[in-house]
Structure 1
Amino acid sequence: MEKKEWYFEYEIQKNRPGLLGDISSLLGMLSINIVTINGVDEGRRGMLLVANDNWSIERFESILSTMDTITVHKIREPNLRDRLAVRHGRYIQRDADERNTFRFVREDLGLLVDFMAELFKQDGHKLIGIRGMPRVGKTESIVASSVCANKRWLFVSSTLLKQTIRSQLIEDEYNDNNLFILDGIVSTRRANERHWQLVREIMRMDAVKVVEHPDVFVQNTEYTLEDFDYIIELRNNPEEEITYEAADQNDQFGATEFGSIDF
């Protein structure tokens, strides 16, 4: 039988010397291997495990239920958040009401880049929106994630260096393995119909698209927030409010400070 990965997360109730050793010994007796272990929250540890069969995991879970020194929170097949929690030592914050919305602060840029890179590696159409105030690191994180995912990134609209508004692609850019980046403010407030024809064409491609300022984007287009597979919020600190009051101020969003490129 093919080996299978599992995620095991527990909380220590009675800390005593040798507790982790006891758990490791139990896993060894059941022929379950520990791939990675790390703290994932205050008082919680997470492990990625590999087992030869489901029976071993079921037996492991049954024995743990008799122990009063720990509380088992999760034993399941690992999802992306589980893998990143063990890798980085903390969970990605998820909106309780909007399950496809994930929250990061600037000090979590490494975790954010890793998260987006894993999304970018997945095949097929994916529409991702990223919210955040100016100069918080949105575009830089997208580009870094593209490099990690071995994807070629293309700015369809952007203000990273100059205002970029594209109205066509060259032949080799029509590739589903490319990653297309749009700035929702630039596209909806400063672009022409030729640009929008290109945007609609790209949206139909079986590729990953990332839209900065998705709220502005959907206000002025036929697209809705429900069309987005993931919404990512990036803040300087957890209390920061993301607003668009400065959207028309060129010095804030870099719209025309260096002129524009339209091609």
Structure 2
Amino acid sequence: MSDWYFEYEIQVNRPGLLGDIASLLGMLRVNIISINGVDEDRRGMLVHTDNDEAIERFRTIVSTMEHINVTKFRQPKLRDRLAIRHGRYIPRDADEKNTFHFVRDELGILVDFMAELFKKEGHKLIGIRGMPRVGKTESIVAASVCANKKWIFLSSTMIKQTVRNKLVGDEFSRNNIFILDGIVTRRSSDEKHLQLVREMMNMPCIKVVEHPDMFVQHSEYKIEDFDYIIELRHHTDEEITYEIMEKNHMSESDSFGGFNF
């Protein structure tokens, strides 16, 4: 009993092509969970069967069909499931396979992506890069809600600059999403806060770090420790720089003070 992801490139978009493929799946008693166009001239299907032999027969038959070219046939990955939902693949860095790119207009896809990551159990360290007011924090919070998880800010500038130095009650739950601002934590001189961060980093739970490159500076952590890196931009050509962000963090701290608790 398993799900499979089947994707094909349309060579000749003749009437009845999709019907032929769907009929073949039906005859083999393979259920179609969802169908969608994926990027240009490709169609993806998420299918389910109790009989792996039926899948092999289907794979053999469709590979001989003249009007399509099978591009993917595998047990579905997270990117496959999201491609079916949203009609395109999430862009991934060519050199760093764990780095994914989004622009602000794609916040819905980003939230969906992070929510799927948040639903998984155990340790996961996620970094998110982006300039101010691009939607980093709101996306993390929205994804936590979608995943039905409680979120805990260890450090943040969402309302005021906040630095936590202890947790209480169910805040220690491994089911929570722990969020920290890498710039705020790096600049903190509160040893209790830094100790709390170290404890959370060692817990088998999900941690999300805004500005991961700043977080790893002058610390025992490396950027290679991150399981996923997300880059969020206002537009595709935007450069993510930290000089402006550090100035913003300093001015927020000086102008409004902050919370340490």
| More off after superposition, 251-260 vs 241-250 | 251-260
How far does residue 79 in structure 1 lie from its aligned partner after superposition?
Answer: 1.0
Aligned-partner SS, 1:94: coil
* 1:82-120 deviation per Cα after TM superposition (whole angstroms, max 9, x unaligned): 111101111111111111111111111011101101111
Aligned partners of 1:168, 1:174: CA distance in 2, in Å? 10
Deviations 1:146-174 (A, max 9, x none): 11111111110000000001111113211
The 3 A distance-change label for structure 1 pair 166 and 61 is: same
Conservation of the 8 A alpha-carbon contact between 2:131 and 2:245:
no
Query: What's the CA shift for 1:258?
Result: 2.6
Deviation at 1:250, TM superposition (A): 2.6
Aligned 8 A contact 1:136 1:236 in 2: yes
Match of 1:151 in 2: 149
Q: Which residue of 1 aligns with 2:214?
A: 216
Give 2:68's aligned residue.
70
Q: Does 1:95 align with 2:86?
A: no
Who is 1:237 aligned against? Answer: 235
Distance 1:38 1:111, change over 3 A: same
Whole-Å separation in 1 of the counterparts to 2:19 and 2:253: 58
CA distance in 2, matches of 1:36, 1:254: 47
Identity of aligned residues (%): 67
Aligned position for 1:16: 14
CA distance in 2, matches of 1:70, 1:233: 34
**Residue of structure 2 aligned with 1:195, choices 177, 193, 206:** 193
- 1: distance between equivalents of 2:253 and 2:178? 19
Paired residue total? 261
Distance (whole Å) between structure 2 residues aligned to residue 236 and residue 73 of structure 1: 32
Letter in 1 for 2:256: F
Q: CA RMSD in A?
A: 1.4
- The answer as to whether partners of 1:165 and 1:191 remain within 8 angstroms in 2 is no
Tell me the SS of whatever aligns to 1:248: helix
Aligned to 2:259: 261
Contact 2:10 2:42 in 1 (8 A): yes
Q: Which amino acid aligns with 1:210?
A: V
1:21–1:252 Cα change, 3 Å: farther
Cα 1:168/1:148, change in 2 over 3 Å: same
